[in-house]
Chains A and B, each alone.
Chain A
Amino acid sequence: AQSVTQLGSHVSVSEGALVLLRCNYSSSVPPYLFWYVQYPNQGLQLLLKYTTGATLVKGINGFEAEFKKSETSFHLTKPSAHMSDAAEYFCAVRYSTSGTYKYIFGTGTRLKVLA
């Protein structure tokens, strides 16, 4: 069965500090992995994705994530937090089932950036 676990429903960092949002997945097949960001009262936006190839993936707004198969992880990082990074972040895994694709989302991590 496929699943996604995001550790920490709330994360607070100081402005300029490292951002680390954790995501672990469970998948019986090679997964495609995604990070989405949701700003207040808005829909989700794709930050970055891993499909195949390079395990370190760079996304928008200075975020990056590394796919570690041995740890079944896809943690999201940013070297220096900005106030505008405050939002909800969702990790998701995509897999195939019955000839179609299905996504499972984690429960989200709310990032708070302190001045």
Chain B
Amino acid sequence: DTAVSQTPKYLVTQMGNDKSIKCEQNLGHDTMYWYKQDSKKFLKIMFSYNNKELIINETVPNRFSPKSPDKAHLNLHINSLELGDSAVYFCASSQRTVGPTGYGYTFGSGTRLTVV
């Protein structure tokens, strides 16, 4: 069973298009995240949702909009794609309310977005 699944795995699109990446987790976690990994492998958080509520919204362009229909899903919609948006986008989940024991994330396998 896949714990955190993202679709599509690869996405090639032209500048100016609008695209969505979907993420689903079956771990029962209450918090989900989107990370962007650039060509230098640097991971940067973009958004975090806890029980469908946005709790982290880093400085990303307004063209990026997360949507969480329920706590098992966190989708990422990107409008007017630009060349600089090319990267690997990772979805992750964790159990935030576990107390001081500090669980790590479970990551999806990533979506490689290429904007041409």
Name A residues whose Cβ lies closer than 8 Å to a Cβ of B. Answer: 32, 34, 36, 38, 41-46, 49, 51-52, 88, 90, 92, 94, 98-103, 105, 107-108, 110
Contacts and interface: CB of A to CB of B under 8 A. Distances in A.
Interface stretch (B12-20, B40-48, B68-76, B78-86): B40-48
Interface residues of B, number: 27
Given A90-B43, A107-B40, A108-B42, A100 B48 contact: yes
Nearest to A99: B55
Give the interface SS of chain A, mostly helix, strand, loop or mixed.
strand
A88 to B, nearest CB: 6
A72 to B, nearest CB: 18
B96 A43 contact: no
30 contacts: A38-B41, A41-B110, A42-B109, A43-B90, A43-B107, A43-B108, A43-B109, A43-B110, A44-B43, A44-B90, A44-B105, A45-B107, A46-B104, A49-B102, A49-B103, A88-B41, A90-B43, A94-B102, A99-B55, A100-B48, A100-B50, A100-B55, A100-B56, A101-B94, A101-B96, A101-B102, A102-B48, A102-B56, A103-B45, A108-B41
What are the nearest 6 A-B pairs in CB distance?
Answer: A43-B107, A32-B102, A46-B104, A51-B102, A105-B43, A44-B107
B4 A43 contact: yes
A46 B106 contact: yes
B62 interface: no
Given A44-B105, A88-B41, A108-B41, A51 B100 contact: yes
Contacts of B103: 49
A108 B72 CA distance: 29
A94 B45 CA distance: 12
Residue among B4, B43, B50, B96 having the largest count of chain A Cβ atoms under 10 Å: B43
